Amino acid sequence: MNATRNTQAAKLYLFYFLLLAAIVFAVMFPRLTLPFGFSYIIYLMSKPLTMMLTTGSKKQRFFYLMLILVCVTFLFFPLFATLYNLETDFGGLYQQLPEVQKILQDKFFAFKVEIFERFGLRINMDPVTFVIQKLEKQGSKVLVQFPNYVSSIFEWLLLVPMFLFFFFKESKTFSGLFMETIPNSIFEKTYVLFTQFNTKFGEYIIAKFIEATILGTLITLGLLVVGFPYPFILGFVAGITNILPYIGPIIGFIPAFFVALLSKDPNVSMIAMVSIYAIANLIDMILVFPLLVSKIVNLHPIVVVVSIIVGSQLAGIVGMIVIIPFIAFFKLLFKEIYQDLSVQL
Partner 1 sequence: MSYEKDQMEKFLKGDGSSDRLDIPLLKYMWDASPLAFMTTKESYHEYFKKISVLQSFSDNEIRLFTKFLHRREFAVNEVIFRQGDSGYGFYFIFSGSVNIYANQQIQTDDLGDLVIRLEKRQYFGEMGLLEDFNRRSATVVAAESTVLLGIFKPDLERMLEIYPVLGAKFLRETALIMANRMGQLTREILTLKKKVKDLEQRV
Residues making contact with partner 1 (CB under 8 A): 1, 4, 7-8, 51, 55, 179, 184-185, 187-189, 191-192, 195-196, 199, 336, 339-340, 343-344
Least CB distance from residue 296 to partner 1, whole Å? 15
Shortest Cβ 184–partner 1 spacing (Å): 6
Amino acid in position 36: F
Q: How far is the CB of 4 from partner 1 (least distance, A)?
A: 5
CA 7 to chain centre: 43
CA atoms 264, 275, 249, 38: torsion sign: negative
State the minimum distance, in angstroms, from the CB of residue 42 to partner 1.
Answer: 20
Q: 72 burial class (0-12, 13-18, 19+ CB within 10 angstroms)? A: exposed
Q: Which residues of 125-152 are buried (b: 16+ CB within 10 A; e: fewer)?
A: eeebeeebeeeeeeeeeeeeeeeeeeee
Query: In whole angstroms, how close is the CB of 52 to partner 1 at the nearest point?
Result: 10
Query: How many residues are present in the chain?
Result: 345
Q: How far is the CB of 18 from partner 1 (least distance, A)?
A: 18
Nearest to 201 by CA among 47, 52, 30: 47
Q: What spatial distance separates the first Cα and last Cα of the chain, rounded to whole Å?
A: 25
Look at residue 295 and give its three-state secondary structure.
coil
Which CB atom, from 101 or from 196, has the smaller least distance to partner 1? 196
Instruction: Tell me whether residue 114 or residue 340 sits nearer to partner 1 (CB atom).
Output: 340
C-beta of 101 vs 199, nearer to partner 1? 199
| Residues 6+ away with beta carbon under 8 Å from 332 | 193, 196, 197
Q: Which is nearer to partner 1, 2 or 148 (CB)?
A: 2
Nearer to partner 1, 96 or 190 (CB): 190
Q: Which amino acid is at 252?
A: G
Nearer to partner 1, 125 or 341 (CB): 341
269 by Cβ neighbours in 10 Å (0-12 / 13-18 / 19+) ranks as middle
* Least distance in angstroms from the C-beta of 311 to partner 1: 27
Instruction: Choose between 74 and 187: whose C-beta lies nearer to partner 1.
Output: 187
Report in angstroms how near the CB of residue 61 gets to partner 1 at its nearest. 13
Could you tell me if residue 246 is left (phi over 0), alpha (psi between -120 and 50 degrees) or otherwise beta? left
The nearer residue to partner 1, 12 or 100, going by C-beta atoms, is 12
